[in-house]
Chain A
């Protein structure tokens, strides 16, 4: 559910600054091109440049309107382009406001989970950044797309989808760096620590299970 949008470049700093593509658009795998612009036209054989035709001959009558849209006219170009205008992000039609609690609580819980496994200094640092996130959110400093994507990130994190959560963090850093840079690196680290914790737990379970296999005597009840 990446955002796919194009914004104009910075016209004040560079009048020919190209448009800015969202992270989602930039990371899309290149499919077949709409119109591969690679062909050239053979020049006239005698090698002389054609006589330039003046664009509008003086005194020519003004052109009327363009041809009307009809079945007989040229069909629109084939192939779809995701979102090439300067419209804002594609939101679902029904908008429900993303609550701070829905994002912050799971993050704080994830941090708690990591406390035994991660160095205190790192936990404190992450905690400090989560506080910053809370402050900025509550202070109305974060835009709606950022809030929405954070909600998604937290969902992926809770479902142990580390790569997906990581990708969302990356998309936020690329598309909204000014808003998120101070605290997002804490979220990034939290994802990494949870991932590492989770793989350690998985290994421990595996070795415990193996140990139990060797110990269990059929028919003997295990103590609760």
Chain B
């Protein structure tokens, strides 16, 4: 029944961090194709599991070289003979000697069904410290630079004491600061106009000899590797605090009518080269803080003449953005190198105008780095979002994780078509890899250099079973997700999730298939696919692909949504919204598709209401969450009462509580969300009421397809009505077309 499947879906998500579009799988390729919505899942590989302590031993692998699946609850075990049969390739394997004591009543954890998700700690191998390389734009207004300096100084108190930290500053030139405990601080200066190869950078910085282990003064501590440019926080924090405090604005004068000369492309290039030469293949973040667009050198996005504006969507559509392709190529080259080195790049862009997120987005998207967009470094939005990078989990460990590789194995009836999320392909071919690509395909392994407990990938599958091949009675398909990563404590860990679902024949088991359809997961997975195609292919082709889909109603709204129809946002804004949509978990992604709207009144507890103008009533307070914004809106009467001061009169204390309730609920969201949303507290007739009004009357924005430069704030994918209709429509079409 429906209720049981909802429970099943929820339990599986809680335990395994997985949501499938279909929880009963079509038993043949032909049937799967008819179902329109592909078999796919959202996977949160490092989902927080306070109830799952990691085991302190290494996983047992299938001995077949082309398989190497990990021992899991689906495997058949012969306890007497100490043999196990791999459920993926059916190879019989001998248990290792350490397992001689196992029996039916003494099972190892990895065989128990409740440990379909289990985490192993790898004991062997060196544990390298985490690395944080700050790349700081000094072409900022004085107030902004001061605020940024203070945030960076503060961050030294949040970093783990044994982490390595480094500093590169840039403006017209790029300066790599040598960190030392001696009084005098030296730096290496590079011209911002000329790109250098990795080798040139490494030569000029004297990195030709690899970083050597250095014995610390206190022999009982472990030796660490360091370099002149990357030193442990606990050793360098006082000097670096002073160095940061003394940073000046870029000294090159900016003439009237010009932009500052900002060499972001070379600065990032040097950062990537520095880490490549000193600490390849260990967890590191390059953190770029910038207050304007790159204006010189490779990667420049706009020239220094203010009268030439930065490219808009209109310019791009008319093929009038001459710098865009070359700049994008530069950052893509850097992003791919960074991902190969196992490092990630964060972009913290705070400015009133665009900063080139469109061209630089691959740096964050391919490496799993963060993208934060704000108006100024002297805002709570930036300061607190930045603080939340260093948030800790229930164990007191940092949530951030590094250097992950995700491998997907499937039973033979399935193949992997691709993944969509903050990852790059590892180009690993094999029997699980489909020839058809959905997302980043042609591989069964991906690399995610930066991730945290909410990072979520969309993984798409293909059913390859032939139509006339019989399914064994009660047969189930299986998928195993293996994520190896560097935990923030620097331990290496492996998280293994193995799931199975029943095959079903659409002819005879339609009701089961229908009941087991997860409409929320399907919506997000389809939307991700649509946005991925819009980003990587020409716009009109994507729209034509959407038109060919059977689910015209949903696609009609998706194609008109700001995720695809971008003209109401700047190219940077679109990049920012899409960046978050491509990595958030299901709940947050759904909020972006369909904002939440709650109504507060004297008539009862807060209740969800339709995202429609009919929900705007004089005696109600509305709280809207679009993920990127929290909006509180007082109806006309509420606003009048507040103006009259009733909340201050003791006999109207309930009104005071009513006013406070949405504020408290908003606060809970604001306290936890990453990135921090914008916060709008407005009322009937207020100038900022348009943020609510434009969401409940989406037809107003959709009709303005070719007006640009007008910023209406956060987008939504569909309006409330059509999403519900889509869900039902999708189910009916998807299921009936399979017959």
Contact = CB atoms under 8 A, between A and B. Distances in A.
A126 B241 CA distance: 13
A55 to B, nearest CB: 5
B197 interface: no
Contacts, number: 225
Interface string B630-656: 100001110011001010001111110
Contact of A55 (B602, B617, B652): B617
B436 interface: no
A43 B646 contact: no
A84 B667 contact: yes
B377 to A, nearest CB: 9
Interface string A140-176: 0000000000000000000000000000011001100
Contacts of A81: 664, 667-668
Interface in A12-39: 13-21, 25-30, 33-35, 37-39
Q: Which 8 A-B pairs have the closest CB atoms?
A: A18-B679, A76-B657, A9-B380, A52-B613, A13-B376, A43-B724, A16-B678, A20-B380
Given A50-B612, A52-B612, A189-B237, A26 B384 contact: yes
Nearest to B376: A13
A34 B158 CA distance: 29
Contact of B381 (A18, A26, A41): A18
Contacts of B388: 26
Given A16-B679, A84-B663, A26 B379 contact: no
Given A43-B721, A53-B617, A14 B374 contact: yes
A63 B637 contact: yes
B678 A56 contact: no
A14 B381 contact: yes
Interface stretch (B108-116, B149-157, B262-270, B272-280): B149-157
A190 B305 CA distance: 50
A55 B379 contact: no
Interface in A30-74: 30, 33-35, 37-44, 47-53, 55-56, 63, 65-69, 73-74
B677 interface: yes
B33 interface: no
Contacts of A189: 234, 237-238
Interface stretch (B123-131, B311-319, B498-506, B603-611): B603-611
19 contacts: A9-B379, A10-B380, A14-B374, A14-B678, A17-B381, A18-B381, A29-B394, A34-B668, A35-B606, A37-B598, A40-B608, A55-B618, A56-B618, A56-B636, A77-B606, A186-B238, A189-B237, A189-B238, A196-B218
A2 interface: no
Interface residues of A, number: 73
A74 B238 contact: no
A4 B101 CA distance: 53
Secondary structure of the B side of the interface?
helix
Contact of A33 (B154, B598, B668): B668
A26 B237 contact: no
Nearest to B235: A122
Given A69-B653, A122-B181, 5 more contacts: A17-B380, A26-B388, A41-B608, A49-B721, A173-B153
A178 interface: yes
Contacts of B234: 189, 192
A164 B629 CA distance: 35
Contacts of A9: 379-381, 679
Nearest to A50: B614
Interface residues of B, number: 94
Interface of A: 6-7, 9-10, 13-21, 25-30, 33-35, 37-44, 47-53, 55-56, 63, 65-69, 73-74, 76-77, 79, 81, 84, 119, 121-122, 125-126, 129, 169-170, 173-174, 177-178, 181-182, 184-186, 188-189, 192, 196
Contacts of A125: 238
A88 B635 CA distance: 29
A19 B679 contact: yes
Contacts of B657: 76-77
Contacts of B618: 55-56, 63
B587 to A, nearest CB: 7
A13 B720 contact: no
Contact of A17 (B650, B653, B678): B678
Contacts of A40: 594, 596, 608, 720
Contacts of B378: 10, 13
Contacts of A122: 181, 238
Interface in B144-182: 150-151, 153-154, 156-158, 161, 181
Contacts of B613: 52-53
Contacts of A68: 651-652, 654
B610 A20 contact: no
A79 B616 CA distance: 26
Nearest to A171: B157
B623 interface: yes
Contacts of A7: 380
B383 interface: yes
A153 to B, nearest CB: 13
A43 B720 contact: yes
Contact of A37 (B217, B623, B640, B653): B623
Contact of A21 (B161, B596, B619, B670): B670
B667 A63 contact: no
B661 interface: yes
A44 B721 contact: yes
Given A37-B625, A37-B665, A67-B602, A16 B680 contact: yes
Contacts of A17: 375, 379-381, 678-679
Given A47-B725, A182-B245, A18 B668 contact: no
A106 B410 CA distance: 64
Contacts of A79: 664
Nearest to B657: A76
Contacts of A56: 618, 636
Contacts of B587: 38
Nearest to B631: A16
Contacts of B237: 185, 188-189
B654 A21 contact: no
Contacts of B672: 30
A6 B380 CA distance: 11
Given A81-B664, A189-B237, A69 B608 contact: no
Contacts of A173: 153-154, 157-158
Contacts of B12: none
B671 interface: yes
A2 to B, nearest CB: 14
A19 to B, nearest CB: 7
A10 B376 contact: yes
A26 B676 CA distance: 12
Interface in B384-423: 384, 387-388, 391-392, 394
B49 interface: no
Contacts of A174: 154, 157-158, 387
B482 to A, nearest CB: 29
A18 B677 contact: yes
B610 A74 contact: no
B684 interface: yes
Contact of B158 (A20, A67, A126, A170): A170
Contact of A67 (B156, B654, B678, B725): B654
A177 B392 CA distance: 20
Contact of A19 (B614, B670, B719, B723): B670
